[in-house]
């Protein structure tokens, strides 16, 4: 079958990016399923609010995936060979901007809440919250205008200022969160006198930069592609995966608490790898502190952990609903 040729139009640049966006979005959704399963198995005692955020994001991502499946079928199944699909946006795309905005906002507000928990100062979380509210509002406005005024690609070009504000504020919120966390941990690092605490704070700083860089880079690349080549669909690659980047980064943040909470040490007694972001959750399976193989020629393995506290620690509170009362007090880590 000969290739469809439209004078002055590169069909591959209109359809190819959508194919990549659909595939990569499915890949990230599969990763998200694994992360949600890991979270539900390891942190069943987290606070109800944290669980609501996790499952709320998973449900919204499932809805998002359902809509892009309909869009892919309507364009490449029912609409195969119909050139109108190149310039008319399918109805299933209408809720996608709002869903992307809400997913990003949920993840960003979670980090904002943690910043407030660490500092107890309202001004910094308030500034970040205003930026997050801006991007969510503009995302909803963008989706509503496209639905009301028509789904033609030309309608998107008229919304360039709104799209720019949406994506720019999304990236700005990520950068503010990242800089805030680095600033908080750096201040504590300057006051720290314990080598182990010093190393943990370095890990937290590195992890904050890595997670913030992924989401902010995705938003920056998307807005750059929109401003420089919006006549093609290359920017849709990042549009289709942006929400799932936020969901996966949030779940990765929550699931990364597991290694330090299990207190995994090597046989030599070295410290566990502290690749966690908030080392304050509750893991279902408590560690076994001593193993004794009672035999005449047995091997005896034991371990001990020496904990030294700074004078002015960073308190990472447990996500379980009972906090530090009773038996749950053992799950609070003061750094």
The secondary structure of residue 328, as a DSSP letter, is G
Q: Going by C-beta distance under 8 Å and a sequence separation of 6 or more, which residues neighbour residue 300?
A: 292, 293
Q: Rounded mean pLDDT of the chain?
A: 75
More confident residue, 163 or 230: 163
Q: What angle do CA 25, 136, 243 make, to 5 degrees?
A: 10
Smallest CA-to-CA distance from 57 within 95, 110, 135 is with 110
Q: Which whole number is the average pLDDT over 293-319? A: 46
Q: Which whole number is the average pLDDT over 182-211? A: 71
Q: Which whole number is the average pLDDT over 53-68? A: 96
Confidence of residue 62 (pLDDT cuts 50, 70, 90): very high
Confidence of residue 212 (pLDDT cuts 50, 70, 90): confident
pLDDT at 119 over 80: yes
Residue 293 has phi, psi (to 5 degrees) of -95, 100
| Displacement of CA 235 from its chain's centroid (Å) | 20
pLDDT at 332 over 50: no
More confident residue, 241 or 300: 241
Distances in Å between the alpha carbon of 304 and those of 259, 269, 288?
Answer: 17, 7, 11
- Comparing 189-193, 297-301, 303-307, which segment has the lowest mean pLDDT? 297-301
For the chain, the distance separating the N- and C-terminal CA atoms, rounded to the nearest angstrom, is 66
- What CATH code is carried by the domain that includes residue 95? 1.20.1070
Confidence of residue 284 (pLDDT cuts 50, 70, 90): low
Q: Which whole number is the average pLDDT over 186-215? A: 71
The pLDDT tens digits for 260-273 are 444 433 333 334 33
DSSP-derived 3-state class of residue 152: strand
C-alpha–C-alpha distance, residues 123 and 211, integer Å: 23
Question: H-type helices in 120-235, by residue range?
Answer: 123-149, 153-158, 160-191, 195-229
β-strands 315-316, 300-302: how paired?
Answer: unpaired
Q: Which whole number is the average pLDDT over 151-161? A: 73
Confidence of residue 15 (pLDDT cuts 50, 70, 90): confident
Q: What are the structure tokens assigned to 197, written together?
A: 């605490």
Smallest CA-to-CA distance from 328 within 41, 46, 53 is with 46
Smallest CA-to-CA distance from 217 within 198, 238, 236 is with 238
Residue 293 within any structural domain of the chain: no
Q: How many domains does the chain have?
A: 1
- Comparing 32-36, 150-154, 210-214, which segment has the lowest mean pLDDT? 150-154
Q: Which whole number is the average pLDDT over 39-44? A: 89
Give the pLDDT of residue 291.
Answer: 46
Give the pLDDT of residue 263.
Answer: 41
Q: What pTM does this model have?
A: 0.75
β-strands 333-334, 315-316: how paired?
Answer: antiparallel
Residue 72 within any structural domain of the chain: yes
Torsion of CA 196, 302, 285, 201, to 10 degrees: 0
Smallest CA-to-CA distance from 19 within 237, 245, 186, 256 is with 237
Confidence of residue 276 (pLDDT cuts 50, 70, 90): very low
Give the range of the structural domain holding residue 187, as residue numbers without chain letter: 11-260
Give the pLDDT of residue 6.
Answer: 60
Instruction: Check if the beta carbon of residue 332 is closer than 8 Å to that of residue 319.
Output: no
For helices 195-229 and 236-255, the axis angle rounded to 10 degrees is 170
- Comparing 75-89, 90-104, 140-154, 196-210, which segment has the lowest mean pLDDT? 196-210
Smallest CA-to-CA distance from 272 within 257, 290, 293, 255 is with 257
The secondary structure of residue 148, as a DSSP letter, is H
More confident residue, 307 or 55: 55
Residue 6 within any structural domain of the chain: no
Residue 269 within any structural domain of the chain: no
Question: H-type helices in 230-317, by residue range?
Answer: 236-255, 258-262
Q: Which whole number is the average pLDDT over 173-178? A: 90
C-alpha–C-alpha distance, residues 208 and 185, integer Å: 10
Residue 277 within any structural domain of the chain: no
pLDDT at 104 over 80: yes
């Amino acid at each position: 079958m000969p290739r469809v040729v439209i004078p002055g139009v590169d069909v591959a640049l209109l359809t190819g990016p959508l194919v990549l966006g659909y595939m990569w979005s499915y890949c990230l959704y599969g990763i998200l399923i694994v992360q949600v399963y890991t979270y539900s198995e390891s942190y069943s005692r987290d606070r109800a609010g944290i669980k609501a955020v996790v499952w709320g994001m998973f449900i919204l991502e499932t809805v998002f995936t359902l809509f892009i499946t309909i869009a892919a079928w309507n364009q490449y199944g029912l609409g195969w060979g119909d050139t109108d699909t190149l310039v008319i946006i399918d109805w299933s795309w209408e809720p996608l901007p709002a869903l992307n905005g809400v997913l990003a906002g949920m993840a960003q507000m979670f980090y904002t809440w943690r910043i407030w928990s660490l500092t107890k100062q309202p001004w910094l979380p308030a500034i970040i919250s205003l930026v997050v509210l801006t991007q969510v509002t503009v995302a909803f406005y963008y989706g509503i205008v496209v639905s009301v005024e028509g789904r033609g690609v030309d309608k998107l070009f008229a919304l360039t200022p709104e799209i720019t504000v949406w994506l720019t504020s999304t990236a700005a919120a990520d950068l503010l969160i990242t800089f805030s966390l680095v600033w908080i941990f750096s201040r504590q690092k300057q006051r720290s006198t314990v080598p182990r605490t010093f190393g943990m704070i370095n890990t937290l700083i590195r992890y904050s930069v890595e997670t913030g860089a992924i989401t902010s880079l995705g938003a920056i690349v998307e807005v750059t592609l929109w401003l420089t080549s919006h006549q093609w669909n290359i920017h849709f690659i990042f549009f289709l995966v942006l929400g799932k980047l936020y969901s996966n980064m949030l779940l990765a943040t929550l699931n990364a608490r597991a290694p330090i909470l299990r207190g995994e040490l090597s046989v030599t007694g070295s410290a566990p790898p502290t690749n966690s972001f908030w080392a304050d959750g509750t893991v279902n399976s408590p560690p076994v502190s001593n193993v004794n193989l009672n035999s005449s020629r047995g091997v005896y393995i034991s371990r001990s952990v020496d904990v030294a506290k700074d004078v002015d620690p960073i308190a990472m509170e447990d996500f379980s609903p009972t906090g530090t009362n009773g038996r749950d007090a053992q799950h609070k880590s003061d750094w």
